[in-house]
Chains A and B, each alone.
Chain A
Amino acid sequence: MSTTRLPPHPAHVIDHEQTLTFSFAGERIQARAGDTIASALYAAGRRTFSRSFKYHRPRGLLCGAGQCPNCLMNVDGTPSVRACTEPVRQGMRVQPQNAWPSLRYDLLSIIDRFDWLLPIGFYYKTFIRPRFFWPLAEKFLRRAAGLGEINTQAKPKGGYDHEYRYTDITVVGGGPAGLTAAHEAANLGCQVTLIDDQPKLGGHLRFQTGTYDNIGEQSGLTGFALARSLRERVTSQPNIDVLSSATVFGGYEGGLLGVMQAKRLIHLRTQRVIIATGSHEYPAVFTNNDLPGVMLGSGVRRLLHLYGVQPGTRAVVVCHDDTGWTLADELLDSGIRVAAVVDSRYRLPDAPDSVEQLQRSGVEVLTSYAIQAARGTNHVEGALVVPLDAQRNPFPHASRFIPCDLICLSTDRTPTAALVAQSGGELVYDATLGQTLPQQLPPQVFCAGDVTGIHLLPATLVQGRLAGLRAAHSLRASETSASSHIQTLQHECEALEQEYRRHYEPYPQLGHAWTSKKQFVCVCEDITHKDLAQGVAEGFDEVETLKRYSTFSMGPCQGRMCATSSARICARYAGAELATRATTARPPVTPVPLGVLAGRKHQPEKHTPLHHRHIALGAEMMLLGSWKRPYAYTTPSEEHQAVRERVGIIDVSTLGKLEVKGKDAARLLDKVYTHTFSTLRVGRIRYGVMCDDSGIIIDDGTVSRLADDHFFLTTTTGNVEFVEQWLKWWMAGTDLCAHVTNMTGGLAAMNIAGPKARQVFSQLTDTDLSSEAFSYMACRRATVAGAPALLLRIGFVGETGWEIHVPAECGEQVWDAIMAAGAGFQIIPFGVGAQRILRLEKKHVIVGQDTDALSNPLEADMEWVVKFNKDDFIGKRGLQAIQERGPRHKLVGFALRDSGMAEGGQAVVVNGQPAGRVASAAFSPTAGKCVGLAWVPVEVASGTSPFQIRINGTDAQADVIDDAFYDPQGERLRS
């Protein structure tokens, strides 16, 4: 077919001068700037756009508006892109889907002949026997099933983002109703966000070339001119934000709308929402209604008026109201022959002039007729039309064949109302209009335009103004002038609606269950009228169950093309009243790529105040929780040796740090820790464990008493948020008076440790560091290298050492001073790797690593921190119960008898049976073998029975070690 472009027209969105080229199935296609893939292909003579899901029947353009599944294609590697809304870009590569070897000759279209093999619910019924056949059938079915192919090798393209917006009023839909609503609301001073899924505002007016009457001062304007005027009015208002090419895919609680604009997900919080999403046409059910060449009237208009593409050469227009007549006029104006207008109405209400005019142009006018079938092999070659009797039933024997290559359906429309339901409104079937319409809207939701079921421009404009005023008035009640205005408009609106309803005659529902001819209800899933009748006969006679059984409305169009037809058919065969409630329309309304939901790739990490020093030293960094920490600067074993023999320094800024201050600080700590802190002397440190009320360990750390009413707490890395919340929670609603401040980010902390630590550290502070003046488990405030510091004499690694807390901004200064002072003693920085070995040699437990959500202090070898003799504390009752039943497991130190390396998570084996697990393990240079901590049965813990550790399938002999592997008496620690 040759190129079928029309001469330029002001309504066109394409630039007739500028051409683009792209490839389709390997062929070069010429397009004009502004074309969609579909309009360019159509202009290039393509009529088959896809192959259907089940039967692989050829499918052509149907809606032309991104509503139906007929033009899904692979665009530059992205599957299932709707070609009718995707703009052409120079050089893009488009491939058809679901067809092999080509769209024109699809081998799988043979399935169409074997439809008896695929009845409704065939997956429950067929391919069961003979059994040996199933593996073969499965292979075939797996390959045939699904739409499009995902490129599993594709690299994420990135560029996704999330945006958060807040607005007074959101108007969804940029058609005539939305534009007027936004204008009115903005006039009353509200901040309005107008969202439209098209690149240009105007809605269906953009492709209307007819003129309108009864719309006030703008009467006589053509549709597209009116669109321009409304658009200009809105874009000149500064308090209206317009989001074009953006889709509202869901309405959520609290006035949250999910909006997708290209690769951006906008979280839009709105106080009021005006739903002006319009309506869309869907195909009537008749034989071969899916044949390429059968198009919805609005799709034909889009081709004609937006893209200047001639949709056919000889058309039949099927309608039930005046929209069909104006479409016939427009086709004639564009030089397309109209063979007939088939109107289902018995009598035309008005405009006999236009009938005569059409007849003069050679158009056959058939009133009280409907379409029975489309004829043709791969494309429409004619329409079979049938007269109707007074009861709207067909006389099948009086049917007539009209040759044509285009059938325009202006038969049924349905409101695009999913958002209404998601915003808390109801969708109720309206028998007069044959549509499910919004009802019982919540007070913050308003509707205007076609979504209310009234497809009449004068009414739409009034509804738009009314909705805008009401929404604004509900926010700005002081605008008293609005309320009288609202009343006037309300009356006007009701009058127009009543008039519309009085003349409305729905298109008749024909179609027969007994015919083997395919009358498609759901084009996505290839569900026919017969299938649904069969489903009802099998007992699925309620629309929700029929939906699940037949899968109608579960395809790419999500029921836009079939929901109403199927509900009607279901009711017809179930002999029941039509379901008055629509099937649930959950978000997302349109497909949302996972990348859009995921947004920008985010992996926030925390850096300590000493981070740059570690990088400068060339440390190997690792991510622990959200913290970046040095694993090692040289090797863990080298660093281990340095700490044991000389002196080392480690950055421990990641420790959680809390200050608890107030007259009841000690009481609070007595309540949440198992230990007692009210008895702690000022200047002393005590180790503490926190449990929950069932006795499970939730955190541990040191508690330093800085003053009577002032404590400094450290928590495990990554748990400080939780501990802060935990402390505050147990204070909430009690008489406890204390304040908890999280100091984690504000303090840098480092631990200097080793036999030479005192010699190094004493160079930097005037404080007496001798063990007499500054004993183990003491704390002091001091000045270190000019910085105010808190010194804690503790020893996680088992050597003489101090934990030094200084303001974060002094961290580097103190670190540098220590490194300089230690140069003569060959001080080295050590990382997490060495620390793990050092602490294991001392059998120091790391909560969260060696313990889990079932560990309690009595079994984790910490009986000594539980003070049952003090008053109630959190966990006392739970721990008492554990004490009564006796411990079952114990966390013990172990050493492997022979060479070999255990690691955390390996099984502890007793008498050949798994009976516990390794918590942590490392090679100890001190012990010369692998040591660690393990959970073992209590009888093993007493050291009387042997146990093994299963390492890669072999059981290695291990022994329980009661004392620490290194310095069991703690002499070095205290020295």
Chain B
Amino acid sequence: MSFLLACPNCGERSVYEFRSGGEFRQRPPASVSSHEWARYLYLRKNEAGETTEWWYHQLGCRSWFLAVRDTRTNLVKETYEHD
């Protein structure tokens, strides 16, 4: 793991400056079934391919952003702030 990530605020940096926040998922509304809720809590897609994930620039601007990364090659296609 030594790929580069382009922080939307700070630019391209080594991945060691960042903390991964895992796959991007929508938190379901409280009204969903227990089954749905358990899926949200415990299941991840763990895709072999392009995945949108959260990253936090811990040793930089200390903010969260989203990155589209190919988990097979670690090539980061794009990064952007969630709006």
State the A residues within 8 Å of B (CB): 252-256, 269, 693-694, 721, 724-725, 728-729, 732-733, 742, 872, 876-878, 881
B1, A253: Cβ atoms closer than 8 Å: yes
User: When the two chains form the complex, which single residue of A256, A728, A872, A877 contacts B2, counting CB atoms closer than 8 Å?
Assistant: A256
The reply on B45 being an interface residue by CB < 8 A is no
The reply on B82 being an interface residue by CB < 8 A is yes
Given A724-B62, A725-B56, A728-B63, A252 contacting B2 (CB threshold 8 A): yes
A728, B64: Cβ atoms closer than 8 Å: yes
User: When the two chains form the complex, which single residue of A694, A733, A878 contacts B83, counting CB atoms closer than 8 Å?
Assistant: A733
User: When the two chains form the complex, which single residue of A254, A256, A721, A881 contacts B58, counting CB atoms closer than 8 Å?
Assistant: A721
A253, B3: Cβ atoms closer than 8 Å: yes
Give 12 A-B contacts (CB < 8 Å), ordered by A residue.
A253-B74, A254-B3, A255-B4, A256-B14, A721-B58, A725-B64, A728-B56, A729-B54, A733-B83, A742-B62, A877-B30, A881-B34
A928 to B17 Cα, complex, angstroms: 51
5 closest A-B pairs by CB? A733-B82, A256-B2, A252-B2, A253-B3, A254-B4
Give chain B residues whose Cβ lies under 8 Å from the Cβ of A729. 21, 54, 56, 64
The reply on B19 being an interface residue by CB < 8 A is yes
B7, chain A: closest CB distance, angstroms: 14
Given A729-B21, A729-B56, A876 contacting B30 (CB threshold 8 A): yes
User: When the two chains form the complex, which single residue of B4, B41, B62, B64 contacts A878, counting CB atoms closer than 8 Å?
Assistant: B41
Known: A693-B27, A725-B58. 5 other contacts (CB 8 A): A254-B2, A254-B4, A729-B56, A732-B82, A872-B29
Complex: chain B residue closest to A871, CB-CB: B30
A732 to B30 Cα, complex, angstroms: 19
A253, B2: Cβ atoms closer than 8 Å: yes
B66, chain A: closest CB distance, angstroms: 8
Chain B 28-43, CB-CB to A under 8 Å as 1, else 0, gives 0110001001001100
A233 to B14 Cα, complex, angstroms: 34
A732 to B74 Cα, complex, angstroms: 24
B14, A269: Cβ atoms closer than 8 Å: yes
A255 to B1 Cα, complex, angstroms: 11
Given A269-B14, A728-B64, A694 contacting B41 (CB threshold 8 A): yes
B40, A693: Cβ atoms closer than 8 Å: yes
Give chain B residues whose Cβ lies under 8 Å from the Cβ of A255. 4
B64, A732: Cβ atoms closer than 8 Å: yes
Chain B 42-56, CB-CB to A under 8 Å as 1, else 0, gives 000000000000101
Give chain B residues whose Cβ lies under 8 Å from the Cβ of A724. 62
Chain B 1-29, CB-CB to A under 8 Å as 1, else 0, gives 11110000000001100010100000101
Give chain A residues whose Cβ lies under 8 Å from the Cβ of B30. 872, 876-877
A368 to B34 Cα, complex, angstroms: 81
A742 to B56 Cα, complex, angstroms: 15
Give chain B residues whose Cβ lies under 8 Å from the Cβ of A253. 1-3, 74
B72, chain A: closest CB distance, angstroms: 12
Give chain A residues whose Cβ lies under 8 Å from the Cβ of B1. 253
A690, chain B: closest CB distance, angstroms: 16
B25, chain A: closest CB distance, angstroms: 11
Complex: chain A residue closest to B74, CB-CB: A253
In this complex, which of B2, B65, B81 has the most chain A Cβ atoms within 10 angstroms of its Cβ?
Answer: B2
B3, A693: Cβ atoms closer than 8 Å: no
A255 to B29 Cα, complex, angstroms: 43
Give chain B residues whose Cβ lies under 8 Å from the Cβ of A725. 19, 21, 56, 58, 62, 64
A253 to B16 Cα, complex, angstroms: 12
B44, chain A: closest CB distance, angstroms: 14
A839 to B58 Cα, complex, angstroms: 33
Give chain B residues whose Cβ lies under 8 Å from the Cβ of A252. 2
A725 to B63 Cα, complex, angstroms: 8
Give chain A residues whose Cβ lies under 8 Å from the Cβ of B81. 732
A721 to B29 Cα, complex, angstroms: 28
B63, A254: Cβ atoms closer than 8 Å: no
Give chain B residues whose Cβ lies under 8 Å from the Cβ of A728. 56, 62-64
Give chain A residues whose Cβ lies under 8 Å from the Cβ of B64. 725, 728-729, 732
Give chain B residues whose Cβ lies under 8 Å from the Cβ of A876. 30
A728, chain B: closest CB distance, angstroms: 6
A742 to B37 Cα, complex, angstroms: 32
A742 to B58 Cα, complex, angstroms: 12
A269 to B56 Cα, complex, angstroms: 22
In this complex, which of B54, B58, B62 has the most chain A Cβ atoms within 10 angstroms of its Cβ?
Answer: B62
A733 to B29 Cα, complex, angstroms: 16
A626, chain B: closest CB distance, angstroms: 15
Give chain A residues whose Cβ lies under 8 Å from the Cβ of B40. 693
A731, chain B: closest CB distance, angstroms: 8
A252 to B56 Cα, complex, angstroms: 22
Chain B 71-83, CB-CB to A under 8 Å as 1, else 0, gives 0001000000111
Give chain B residues whose Cβ lies under 8 Å from the Cβ of A878. 41
A728 to B2 Cα, complex, angstroms: 26
A729 to B53 Cα, complex, angstroms: 12
Give chain B residues whose Cβ lies under 8 Å from the Cβ of A693. 27, 40-41
A251, chain B: closest CB distance, angstroms: 10
A876 to B41 Cα, complex, angstroms: 13
A693 to B83 Cα, complex, angstroms: 22
Give chain A residues whose Cβ lies under 8 Å from the Cβ of B74. 253-254
B36, chain A: closest CB distance, angstroms: 10
Complex: chain A residue closest to B24, CB-CB: A733
User: When the two chains form the complex, which single residue of A269, A733, A877 contacts B37, counting CB atoms closer than 8 Å?
Assistant: A877
Complex: chain B residue closest to A872, CB-CB: B30
A729 to B58 Cα, complex, angstroms: 12
Give chain A residues whose Cβ lies under 8 Å from the Cβ of B34. 881
A729 to B27 Cα, complex, angstroms: 12
User: When the two chains form the complex, which single residue of B14, B27, B65, B82 contacts A254, counting CB atoms closer than 8 Å?
Assistant: B14
A755, chain B: closest CB distance, angstroms: 43
A733, chain B: closest CB distance, angstroms: 3
Give chain A residues whose Cβ lies under 8 Å from the Cβ of B27. 693
A722, chain B: closest CB distance, angstroms: 10
Give chain B residues whose Cβ lies under 8 Å from the Cβ of A881. 34
Complex: chain A residue closest to B64, CB-CB: A732
B10, chain A: closest CB distance, angstroms: 15
Complex: chain B residue closest to A881, CB-CB: B34
A934 to B78 Cα, complex, angstroms: 49
Give chain A residues whose Cβ lies under 8 Å from the Cβ of B56. 725, 728-729
Complex: chain B residue closest to A732, CB-CB: B64
A724 to B63 Cα, complex, angstroms: 10
A732 to B83 Cα, complex, angstroms: 7
Complex: chain A residue closest to B12, CB-CB: A254
B28, chain A: closest CB distance, angstroms: 9
A254 to B73 Cα, complex, angstroms: 10
A398 to B64 Cα, complex, angstroms: 78
Give chain B residues whose Cβ lies under 8 Å from the Cβ of A256. 2, 14
B13, chain A: closest CB distance, angstroms: 10
A255 to B34 Cα, complex, angstroms: 46
B77, chain A: closest CB distance, angstroms: 14
A693 to B15 Cα, complex, angstroms: 27
B15, chain A: closest CB distance, angstroms: 8
B41, chain A: closest CB distance, angstroms: 5
Give chain A residues whose Cβ lies under 8 Å from the Cβ of B41. 693-694, 878
A255 to B30 Cα, complex, angstroms: 45
Give chain A residues whose Cβ lies under 8 Å from the Cβ of B83. 733
A545, chain B: closest CB distance, angstroms: 24
Give chain B residues whose Cβ lies under 8 Å from the Cβ of A269. 14
Complex: chain A residue closest to B75, CB-CB: A253
A878 to B2 Cα, complex, angstroms: 37
A721 to B4 Cα, complex, angstroms: 23
A693, chain B: closest CB distance, angstroms: 6
